[in-house]
């Protein structure tokens, strides 16, 4: 795959295998939209790295993440310190004849930036709805929106998608010529995430149909 677009900064450039890098927004946005969760990293007040899994949602050029306002975890980010948000979709196991050339097929995105606290009520509602829709399209219409009291208990952060890159591996393994005659199967085992039978809440009254999980994950 040819590299698409140009890296916005040196630290977002995919250097070792540059053919895996992509910097165009359609590619980046598609990965961010498909990945159900991301991993968010930052440097704590003590100077140590911290990485947490969290749900995100994209609205145009902005990524939203949210958490409890009472949680010390996300509160550390209220001061606008830098984060690295990484979202990864696994597409397959790449089984080469050698362990050295074995790999994974994947699509990942890395976004650097300094999140801002979302304080505006309309933007808070927009972000809450986007997060519901990110997980399950249409859910933002169905679920009850947050009350003012709930919004006060929620910390929502917005991260601009201005310094981002994608890294993608596709295709079969690339074995050494000398290994081609080894009696070892080589190829790709594709992976995907599927939904099982919906499990209704014990307190759900009869007569309500479950939503369909139709996301392409």
Q: Which of residues 141-170 bind a copy of itself (CB under 8 A)?
A: 142-147, 150, 153-154
Determine the length of the chain.
Answer: 217
Specify the residue, 26 or 100, whose C-beta has the smaller distance to a copy of itself: 100
* Tokens of residue 142, six digits: 């169905």
Q: Which stretch binds a copy of itself (CB under 8 A): 25-33, 56-64, 106-114, 115-123?
A: 106-114
Of 24-32, 57-65, 115-123, 176-184, which part binds a copy of itself (CB under 8 A)? 176-184
Q: Cβ of residue 59: shortest distance to a copy of itself, in angstroms? A: 15
Q: For residues 8-32, b (16+ Cβ closer than 10 Å) or e, as one string?
A: eeeebebeeeeebbbbeeebbbebb
Segment interacting with a copy of itself (CB under 8 A) among 18-26, 36-44, 57-65, 115-123: 36-44
CA gap 95, 173 in Å, rounded = 6
Residues 37-96 that bind a copy of itself (CB under 8 A): 37, 39-44, 46-53, 55, 68, 70-73, 82-86, 88, 90, 92-93, 95-96
CB 111 within 8 A of CB 85: yes
For the chain, first and last CA: distance in Å? 22
What is the total count of residues that contact a copy of itself (CB under 8 A)? Answer: 98
Q: What's the burial of 103, exposed, middle or buried (CB within 10 Å: 0-12/13-18/19+)?
A: middle
Nearer to a copy of itself, 29 or 163 (CB): 163
Among 2, 148, 183, 206, binds a copy of itself (CB under 8 A): 183
Q: How far apart are CA 17 and CA 91, in angstroms?
A: 18
Closest CB 43 distance from a copy of itself, rounded Å = 5
Residue 124, interface with a copy of itself (CB under 8 A)?
A: no
> Which one, of 6, 5, 27, 11, lies nearest residue 168 by Cα?
27
Smallest gap from residue 164 Cβ to a copy of itself (A): 13
Minimum distance from residue 154 beta carbon to a copy of itself (Å): 7
Q: How many whole angstroms separate alpha carbon 132 and alpha carbon 126?
A: 10
């Amino acid at each position: 795959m040819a590299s698409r677009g140009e890296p916005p900064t040196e630290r977002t450039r995919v250097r070792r295998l540059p053919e895996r890098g992509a910097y165009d927004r359609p590619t980046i946005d598609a990965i961010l939209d498909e990945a159900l969760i991301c991993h968010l990293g930052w440097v704590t007040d003590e100077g140590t790295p911290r990485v947490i899994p969290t749900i995100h949602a994209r609205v145009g050029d902005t990524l939203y993440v949210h958490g409890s306002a009472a949680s010390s975890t996300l509160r550390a980010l209220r001061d606008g310190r830098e984060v690295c948000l990484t979202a990864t979709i696994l597409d397959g196991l790449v089984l080469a004849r050698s362990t050295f050339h074995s790999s994974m097929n994947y699509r990942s995105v890395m976004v650097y930036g300094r999140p801002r606290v979302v304080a505006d009520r309309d933007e808070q509602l927009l972000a809450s709805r986007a997060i519901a829709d990110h997980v399950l399209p249409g859910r933002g219409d169905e679920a009850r929106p947050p009350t003012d009291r709930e919004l006060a208990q929620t910390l929502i952060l917005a991260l601009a998608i201005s310094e981002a890159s994608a890294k993608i591996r596709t295709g079969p393994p690339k074995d050494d010529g000398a290994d081609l005659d080894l009696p070892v199967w080589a190829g790709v085992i594709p992976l995907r995430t599927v939904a099982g039978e919906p499990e209704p809440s014990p307190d759900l009254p009869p007569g309500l149909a479950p939503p369909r999980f139709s996301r392409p994950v």
